[in-house]
């Protein structure tokens, strides 16, 4: 089994259908955001001391999480990143973001968050993203991953759990490299697919995840352009969805 069955580009309509799926999913999830929902979150965490500790440690008094703590654990709590960062960008930030946790490890002077659905996400009450925007502490824009309207000006670029939602994966990988400064850091995480995964029709036709990418394609970008600080591929049984993904790509690198 290899990378032959990758799906690296889809039509505009296929991408739009995936975005509508995401929009509907997160609107339903955030329809009843309230302080009661935050209290319920902490009440559930009482049965999970590790999670309760994290909520208190990171002062995560907000609604919503999308595996962000799970990703943080795979990235070894982001401790390979510098203690201070001038400008950071999260591409495809989603409604809850990963940079909300990264910013607790590294002091970031300027935070930028990009997502095609950012206007929807910032309307969700009591989320970290909407709260930071209302306080004027972060900058947002709705650029797609394929075309970020900035030059190579970011000291840190984060892209986690994004490529399976895009229209053109190779363009996105090239954009990640382009907007990162020389000497800047990249945090990249991605579920991976191969022929075995795509032989499952349910996986292949998953409306919300049109792109299916193999680690060899990602290696071709990062191996030549970055010094690896943390790189591993989680095996199928260690990933979030073993039925659909042979592995999970975990990478922190510094652009040469």
Whole-number pLDDT of residue 5: 77
Separation CA 159–CA 146 (nearest Å)? 12
Domains detected in the chain: 12-32+65-255 (3.40.50.150)
Query: pTM score, two decimals?
Result: 0.96
> In this structure, are residues 189 and 102 in contact, taking their beta carbons and an 8 Å threshold?
no
Separation CA 218–CA 221 (nearest Å)? 5
Question: Which residues have C-beta within 8 Å of that of residue 46, sequence separation ≥ 6?
Answer: 52
Which tens digits make up the pLDDT trace of 216-238? Answer: 999 999 999 999 999 999 999 99
Beta-bridged to residue 89, according to DSSP, are 112, 157
Separation CA 108–CA 154 (nearest Å)? 11
Question: Both tokens of residue 138?
Answer: 């972060």
Which tens digits make up the pLDDT trace of 20-35? Answer: 999 999 999 999 999 9
Which tens digits make up the pLDDT trace of 80-133? Answer: 999 999 999 999 999 999 999 999 999 999 999 999 999 999 999 999 999 999
- Percentage, residues of the chain above pLDDT 70: 98
Whole-number pLDDT of residue 4: 60
Whole-number pLDDT of residue 75: 98
């Amino acid at each position: 089994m290899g990378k032959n069955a990758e799906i690296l580009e889809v039509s505009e309509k296929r991408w739009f259908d995936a975005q509508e799926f995401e929009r509907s999913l997160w609107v339903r999830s955030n329809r009843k955001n309230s302080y009661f929902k935050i209290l319920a979150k902490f009440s559930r965490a009482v049965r999970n001391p590790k999670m309760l500790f994290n909520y208190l440690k990171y002062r995560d008094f907000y609604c919503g999480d999308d595996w962000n703590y799970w990703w943080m654990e795979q990235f070894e709590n982001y401790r390979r990143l510098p203690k201070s960062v001038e400008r950071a960008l999260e591409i495809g930030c989603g409604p809850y973001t990963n940079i909300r946790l990264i910013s607790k490890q590294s002091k970031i002077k300027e935070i930028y968050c990009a997502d095609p659905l950012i206007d929807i996400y910032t309307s969700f009450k009591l989320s970290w993203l909407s709260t930071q925007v209302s306080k004027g502490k972060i900058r947002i824009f709705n650029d797609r991953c394929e075309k970020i309207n900035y030059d190579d000006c970011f000291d840190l670029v984060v892209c986690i759990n994004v490529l399976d939602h895009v229209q053109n994966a190779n363009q996105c990988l090239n954009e990640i490299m382009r907007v990162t400064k020389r000497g800047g850091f990249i945090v990249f995480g991605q579920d991976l697919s191969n022929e075995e995964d795509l032989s499952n029709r349910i996986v292949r036709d998953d409306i919300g995840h049109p792109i299916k990418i193999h680690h060899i394609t990602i290696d071709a970008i990062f191996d030549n352009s970055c010094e690896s600080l943390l790189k591993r591929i989680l095996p199928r049984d260690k990933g979030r969805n073993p039925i659909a993904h042979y592995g999970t790509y975990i990478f922190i690198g510094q652009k040469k």
